[in-house]
């Protein structure tokens, strides 16, 4: 009896050790569902037909597996990217149609890679820290493996045993071994590059039935949970799903997260990966969507490129899987309609079916929302205030997060403002031309380090022309700002506030921002109160990078039309032209035009404040930087409060040839009172506008009662901020 039991357990163990193929995103069950229903649902059918047409055209052309030599954007780089995508699509087509021509295509291409890969050293254009073999960086190599192993999985049963052995021995195992040994630090890195790498090794382990690959992918190269997929889920996202590198990189990182999560759910349901950490993947997906503007573009904090939107391929699979796994949120169907494609998976099929059957589709809800940062939720955060409909929404993003790992910028207490579907006060983003060979091989440009990362490239305070933490990333990472308050309950008075006491030794920064609406205004205004405290005198610079054409300023300035100088010689200042400078005796007003609307900055000024008009692009002999414009307020002081309003106003119609309300409604803004406990701001304007803004600087409790006497007037209020009209 004991012998029979042992044999039974052995047989059971062997049966579990033998994978059924395909076993990743495509499974036997998924293939059966797709075969049965793919032509029933228009969007899936269209997505399938488009992919089939593309791969069928590819099959008529000569195959090329070139020896690697080019960096991003070069021929060999782009060809290997094309190859993995074509193999991936061919694998799906083979499974669904059964046509052997797709299997032959994958086999023939794998044969060429099997001959070439063992001969490869490190890529000739490789990056110092993470050089690949097929590609200049391992990131691209991991993406290649993730797609290629899925193609291999789709034709596994069709291949001969000796072919499987060839690909395993010459491609898949050596590539994974390279990642695990030569790139161990990258493999264990808590970063989106690490996510891609562990996903590639883990999916290869699932297909090849290599348990060590799977376990290391989940728990790190040393199996100590210092790296790996599970720690990535635990450490890269805050408790409410904010991805520490920002929304732009969440877009890219979510792709491997959802690819591997779906593969694990199909092979390791015991992990309950979609429920892990209170469904953190769901939270991460929705937080990424909230980091977009109404045109779908990711708000470009940190090393972001402005061209990327939620239509990107990376979010197609994620939106389908979230719809499938997390309860059929009909709002997502709006996104799917805009994407105009679904993934060729069971999740894509289910999403397409729901799209066909939905009688009404509610619009996606962009909300005023705040996110905490850091795995513990104590590393600062992001605040977003919104007002209006999708067609014409104001959006104010306030960044008081942690640094953002290697893609972070030195921009504590920075903000962006959107209106009319456009950036109005912009973030430069990254200095990079992705995959443009002529521009530094498509890599991050030198100007990313010399300008875009620096504090002066952002809409926040610069002290003594130095960047936050003197450009020290470790210090920046370990000393995040702290949220002081956030409240968006009243759509007519939404506000947020954060403090930073570490970016500049001996300088305390406290910024409060609000969206304020009033019946006397056409639209809400941005209120910006930036309070600075120091025992020593410093030079305080506060830039605003506006988008549009300068129209007017209410003070005299000198424009440098014959000869220009730079704003400084280091820390990003060397890249700013000084176009003009002036002074204002009281409130300074600067107006510009963007599309059909005017915008004005109204700020407290005095004769000791210098106001500069700047332009990006100095010391840029290769024309790598955009020549965008800015305004810089400069004040030498110990304690000071920069107080500004940004008002959208008026209308410009070149077709009907009329302009109205081209001047702002606000005329005067000044600080009435400021000490360690309270700040009071007086705001006056046309049509009887008379506001007093009161802030408690030391008590942020919502139920605390405050009193303040200014001159012969007594003020009382409850909570950290109020506005009296």
Positions marked active-site: 249, 407
- Asked if 261 contacts 268 with a C-beta cutoff of 8 angstroms, the reply is no
End-to-end CA distance of the chain: 89
Number of Cβ within a 10 Å radius of residue 20: 10
Number of Cβ within a 10 Å radius of residue 715: 17
- Asked if 503 contacts 473 with a C-beta cutoff of 8 angstroms, the reply is no
- Asked if 296 contacts 239 with a C-beta cutoff of 8 angstroms, the reply is no
Question: How far is 403 from 412, CA to CA, in rounded Å?
Answer: 8
Closest of 601, 605, 599 to residue 582, by C-alpha: 605
Give bridge partners of residue 597 from the DSSP assignment.
594
Closest of 631, 588, 585, 630 to residue 608, by C-alpha: 585
Closest of 190, 303, 208 to residue 246, by C-alpha: 303
* SS3 per-residue string spanning 642-679: EEEEEEEECEEECCCCEEECCCCCEEEEEEEEECCCEE
Q: Are strands 482-490 and 493-500 parallel, antiparallel or unpaired?
A: antiparallel
Contacts 24+ apart (CB under 8 A), 474-477: 475/502, 476/403, 476/408, 476/410, 476/412, 476/503, 477/402, 477/403, 477/405, 477/408
- Asked if 343 contacts 317 with a C-beta cutoff of 8 angstroms, the reply is yes
Q: Which residues contact 561 (CB under 8 A, 6 or more apart)?
A: none
- 289: tokens are 């969507």
């Amino acid at each position: 009896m004991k012998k029979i039991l042992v044999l039974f357990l052995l047989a059971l163990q062997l049966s579990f050790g033998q994978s059924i193929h395909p076993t990743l995103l495509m499974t036997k069950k998924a293939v059966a569902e797709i075969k049965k229903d793919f032509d029933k649902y228009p969007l899936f059918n269209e997505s399938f037909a488009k992919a089939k047409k593309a791969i069928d055209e590819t099959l008529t052309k000569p195959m090329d597996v070139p020896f690697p030599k080019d960096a991003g954007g070069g021929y060999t780089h782009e060809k290997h990217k094309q190859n993995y995508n074509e193999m991936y699509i061919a694998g799906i087509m083979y499974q669904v149609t059964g046509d052997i021509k797709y299997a032959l295509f994958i086999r023939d291409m794998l044969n060429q890679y099997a001959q070439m890969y063992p001969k490869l050293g490190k890529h000739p254009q490789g990056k110092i820290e993470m050089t690949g073999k097929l590609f200049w960086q391992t990131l691209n190599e991991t993406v290649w493996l993730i797609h290629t192993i899925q193609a291999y999985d789709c034709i596994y049963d069709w291949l001969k045993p000796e072919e499987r052995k060839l690909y395993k021995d010459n491609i898949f195992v050596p590539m994974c071994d390279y990642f695990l040994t030569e790139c161990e630090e990258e493999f264990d890195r808590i970063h989106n590059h690490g996510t891609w790498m562990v996903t590639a090794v883990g999916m290869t382990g699932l297909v090849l039935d290599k348990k060590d690959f799977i376990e290391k992918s989940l728990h790190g190269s040393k199996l100590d949970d210092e790296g790996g997929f599970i720690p990535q889920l635990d450490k890269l996202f805050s408790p409410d799903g904010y991805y520490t590198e920002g929304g732009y990189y969440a877009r890219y990182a979510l792709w491997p997260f959802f690819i591997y999560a779906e593969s694990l759910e199909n092979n390791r349901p015991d992990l309950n990966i979609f429920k892990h950490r209170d469904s953190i993947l769901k939270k991460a997906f929705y937080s990424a969507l909230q980091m977009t503007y109404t045109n779908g573009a990711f708000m470009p904090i940190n090393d972001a490129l402005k061209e990327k939107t939620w239509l990107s391929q990376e979010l197609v699979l994620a939106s389908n899987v979230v719809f499938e796994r997390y309860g059929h949120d009909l709002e997502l169907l709006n996104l799917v309609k805009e994407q105009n494609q679904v993934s060729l998976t069971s999740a894509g099929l289910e999403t397409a079916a729901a799209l066909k059957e939905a009688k009404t589709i509610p619009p996606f809800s962009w909300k005023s929302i705040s996110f905490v940062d850091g795995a513990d939720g104590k590393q600062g955060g992001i605040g977003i205030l919104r007002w209006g409909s999708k067609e014409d929404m104001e959006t104010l993003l306030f960044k008081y997060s942690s640094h953002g790992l290697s893609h972070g910028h030195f921009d504590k207490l920075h903000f962006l403002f959107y209106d009319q579907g456009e950036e109005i006060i912009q973030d430069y983003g990254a200095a990079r031309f992705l995959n443009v060979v002529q521009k530094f091989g498509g890599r991050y440009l030198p100007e990313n380090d010399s300008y875009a990362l620096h504090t002066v490239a952002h809409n926040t305070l610069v002290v003594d022309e130095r960047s936050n933490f003197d450009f020290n990333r470790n210090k920046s990472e370990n000393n995040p700002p702290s949220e002081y308050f956030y409240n968006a309950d009243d759509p007519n008075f939404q506000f947020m506030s954060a403090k930073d006491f570490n970016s500049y030794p001996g300088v305390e920064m406290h910024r409060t921002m609000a969206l304020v609406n009033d019946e006397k205004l056409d639209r809400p205004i941005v209120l910006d109160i930036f309070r600075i405290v120091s025992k020593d005198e410093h030079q305080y610079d506060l830039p605003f990078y506006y988008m549009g054409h300068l129209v007017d300023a209410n003070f005299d300035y000198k424009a440098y039309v014959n000869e220009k100088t730079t704003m400084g010689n280091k820390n990003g200042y060397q890249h700013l032209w000084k176009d003009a400078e002036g002074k204002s005796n009281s409130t300074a007003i600067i107006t510009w035009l963007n599309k059909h609307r005017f915008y004005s900055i109204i700020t407290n000024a005095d004769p000791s404040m210098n106001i500069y008009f700047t332009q990006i692009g100095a010391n840029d002999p290769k024309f790598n930087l955009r020549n965008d414009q800015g305004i810089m307020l400069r004040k030498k002081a110990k304690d000071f409060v920069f107080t500004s309003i940004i008002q959208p106003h008026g209308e410009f119609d070149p077709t009907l040839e009329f302009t109205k309300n081209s001047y702002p409604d606000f005329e005067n803004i000044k600080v009435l009172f400021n000490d360690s406990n309270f700040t009071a701001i007086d705001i006056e304007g046309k049509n009887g506008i008379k506001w007093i803004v009161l802030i408690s600087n030391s008590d942020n409790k919502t139920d605390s009662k405050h009193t303040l006497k200014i001159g012969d007037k007594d003020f009382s209020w409850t909570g950290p901020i109020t506005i009296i009209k």
